[in-house]
Amino acid sequence: MYRAPVREVRFVLEELLGAQRLAASGALGDYSNELAQSVLEEAARFAENVLEPLNRPGDVQGARWTENGVVTAPGFREAYQQFVAGGWPALGAATEFGGQHTPRVLNSAVGEFWGSANLAFKLGPMLTHGAVHALELCGSPAQKRTFLPPMVRGEWTGTMVLTEPQAGSDLGQVRTRAVAAGDHYRLFGQKIFITWGDHDLTSNTIHMVLGRVEGAPPGVKGISLFIVPKVLVGADGSLGARNEVRCLSIERKLGIHASPTCVLAFGEKEGAVAYLVGEPGRGLEYMFIMMNSARLSVGSEGYAVGERAYQRALEWARTRVQGKPRTAPGPVTIIQHPDVRRMLLTMKSQTEAARALTLYGAFQFDLAEYDASEQVRTAARARGELLTPIIKGWCTESGNEVAAIGLQVHGGMGYIEETGAAQYVRDVRITTIYEGTTGIQSNDLIGRKLARDRGAAMSALLAEMERDLGAIAGSDATLETVRKSALEAVGLLARATRSLLESLASEPQRALAVSVPYLKLCGYVAGGWLLARSAAIAAGRLDGNEREFYAAKVRTAAFYAAQVLPTAAALARVVESGGASVIGTDPALL
């Protein structure tokens, strides 16, 4: 049974990040630790009592295509109605459109609970939130008045419609055609891999679609963004005729079976009515608002599924009786075996590190928007942008590893669907692919984020890590070991970064050949830094009422330092000297 880790999340928000400082902003004057706790507890109840019970049945029964549209798995319509009744679609949206103005870091924390309890369900509201955010920033006043209030209320959902059969991740190859028709356009084309592209949860779906105005130049500079409603909307906001948008099929997938992944046809006859967002040719720029928001959300999905896999593995290990250790008189529960405890600690520590890093990254964007100091805002934005590909790439790769370890804890029973462990392996697998594969994230990290300022934002982060770790003091031997291990890893990352920058300047292909190891190195080191900070906070609070909670924080950080963080040394070595083995290999030899 899933239990949302409310106390773990509160620790990150309140004690590690000090998110309550956001209340100093006039826009977030109502924010407090008490408000955040209330939101988290309500979200936990919904996740545990409504979403979790639908996860397994949704996996087994899945969404179903019909000629009249997609039918969602049993129980999903009722769950979505409760989701809307609880006001959850409004979380984080602008108040002028009916939203609840909450910081991104709290929204990210709540999203973890949805992702752990039922990833297939969570994806729909996530994409709606991204579409709302893009329209808030880029839509015209009329578009905002028409589309945002029903989306914020949850009456309509939103999608992100990018790729096509011939394009894949190369959006410069998008061919969907837009023909001017007075105050709107007519859209013609076919799109694939559209998550929640059709369903029976709401009366309308607002598709955010990439296409080309006739005569636009080839490549990404010719791409524009369009609003294409599933059902046409009148001037008074009422729903009219069905637009020329049709779901041709839904994909048969490895996992997330209850999330319909659609093939959509636009304009099979006269063309789908579409409304241009912003200026022509800036579609990819606008779409990246949605994509970057989604990348942080998908990063959280990686460790969210990992958290659920950990909880199930822990429950199994505490009840499954197998084997007789040398020190025990008879068979014991498998949690008594050292290697099983090692696996559980690996799952726990990597999940906690990923959670801390993701919420830290979301908090940077809050500081960038709300802090009173322009200097702080500028630095926080640069850091949040630097961390986005790391969060998306490393947290999803880590989530895949954690889910696989969870299956291993179950042994042979984990390979049997009835235990539930296998579903997490299947569901989380897509997270390393969504919104750009890990390779795309690592290319973004070194090709854009590092290259644009020659490593200045990374240098600032490394300097802060060193200062934080240098300030950890005390006589506790365990804490000192954690601090030294984290500090050593920061030094490895600094050296690897210098090496990578040299390769980027002299031989970019060599740098690209080690970009994924570099991204993972960044994740492991940043996770070690944040766990060391967490351990230092916890070590000072072992005499209170929550001694066991804080003691576990210290022990988890100690395990990460001893058995996870040493991975940084191997990755640093790859970054510094592994590129030649790739670029020196003729593709014909593969």
DSSP string, 246-258: EEEEE---SS-TT
- For strands 223-229 and 177-181, give the pairing: unpaired
Q: Is the dihedral of CA 124, 426, 115, 225 positive or negative?
A: negative
CB 252: neighbour CB atoms within 10 A?
Answer: 8
Q: Is 411 exposed, middle or buried (0-12, 13-18, 19+ CB in 10 A)?
A: middle
Cα angle 14, 17, 20 (rounded to 5 degrees) comes to 50
SS3 per residue for 14-45? HHHCCHHHHHHCHHHCCCCHHHHHHHHHHHHH
Contact by Cβ (8 Å): 174, 217: no
Which among 291, 521, 490 is positioned nearest to 398, based on CA atoms? 521
208 closest CA partner among 143, 122, 295: 143
| Residue 448: alpha-carbon gap to chain centroid | 20
| CA 24 remoteness from chain centre | 27
Helix or strand or coil: residue 208?
A: strand
Per DSSP, 478 falls in state H
Return the structure tokens found at 57: 């049945």
Q: Whose CA is closest to 444, among 389, 504, 394, 481?
A: 389
Indicate the Cα dihedral angle 310, 312, 318, 323, nearest 10°: -90
Type of residue numbered 151? M
Q: Give the catalytic positions in this structure.
A: 435
Q: State the Rg of the chain over Cα.
A: 24
Q: Is the C-alpha dihedral spanning 153, 154, 160, 165 positive or negative?
A: negative
Residue pair 396/390 in contact (Cβ under 8 Å)? The answer is no
Q: Taking a C-beta distance cutoff of 8 angstroms, is the pair 492, 449 a contact?
A: no
Helix, strand, or coil here: 231? strand
Burial (Cβ within 10 Å: 0-12, 13-18, ≥19) of residue 86:
middle
Phi, psi of 562 (to 5 degrees): -85, -35
Sign of CA dihedral 394, 399, 401, 402: positive
Check: CB of residue 266 under 8 Å from CB of residue 359: no
